[in-house]
Copies of this chain bind each other. A is one copy, B any other.
């Protein structure tokens, strides 16, 4: 529950594309951990190369070690390189921003994106963490990720990201059940203002959802026609990725979506 290792690793969550370098006090404030503790944890992670400290500014940032680890993982399990071309196709088909995410601890990790070519588009922060309860991708995974995952998320606290975010356990359960009926998920402005998401689950070889593919559209641009188009494309992309990863769909899911996928 409260091991120092998770506390240390939680610090890494605060580094983002927008703020890639953070000071000691800043990190302590955001994480709510004592400065001294943060200092020790950062020191430990620096020893392992997970973070590094700028010699002059004394700011901390993610270290070269994360690049190394990613290379090891990507060489052994080339997910990104499999997913990327499919996302490119998906984005081209729908004209909107597409992204894929995988289960990563207590949330989803965005691991690949393809931004829309349009001037007005949904722009994702690279490496963003996607909560289960407030994103279309999260709902898709929740619906097909097994009872253990669902129970864990339902019993956690659901933070409101916008005024549309579902924060009631019962409501979330209802939404998940709806997704289980439909075979894909849809969410409008529940994670970010003016962003509409449609997502479908990706399965591992045990038939459990391990991630999701999603298309994010500016809410005002989401017509019924676009919705129809996006839904089919997302389902097909998810289908292709599942196969590419050697995953296996549960029968009930296959039966659900084959009708919706359209001809491709």
Q: Which of B44, B73, B211 lies in contact with A9, CB distance below 8 A?
A: B44
Among B15, B65, B211, which residue has its beta carbon within 8 angstroms of that of A104?
B65
Closest to A12 in B: B69
Query: For the complex formed by this chain, how many copies does it contain in all?
Result: 2
In the bound complex, CA of A204 to CA of B49 (Å): 16
**Are B126 and A75 closer than 8 Å at their CB atoms?**
yes
Interface size of A by Cβ–Cβ distance < 8 Å? 60
> Which of B4, B55, B68, B77 meets A111, CB within 8 Å?
B68
Interface set, chain A 7-21, CB cutoff 8 A to B: 8-10, 12, 15-17, 20-21
Instruction: Name the contact of A126 in the complex, choosing from B71, B106, B111 (C-beta under 8 A).
Output: B71
Residue of B nearest to A56 (CB): B206
Compute how far the CA of A17 lies from the CA of B74 in the bound complex, rounded to whole angstroms. Answer: 9
Q: Contact check: which of B17, B44, B71, B72 meets A3 at CB < 8 Å?
A: B44
Query: Distance in Å from the Cβ of A79 to the closest Cβ of chain B?
Result: 7
Q: How far is the CA of A130 from the CA of B73 in the complex (A)?
A: 18
A193–chain B nearest beta-carbon distance, Å: 23
Contact B16 A49 (CB under 8 A): no
Measured between beta carbons, the chain B residues less than 8 angstroms from A140 are none
Q: What are 20 A-B pairs with beta-carbon distances under 8 A? A: A5-B41, A5-B45, A6-B44, A9-B45, A9-B47, A12-B48, A15-B69, A15-B73, A20-B73, A47-B105, A48-B105, A49-B103, A50-B69, A62-B73, A65-B105, A67-B70, A68-B104, A68-B129, A71-B111, A72-B126
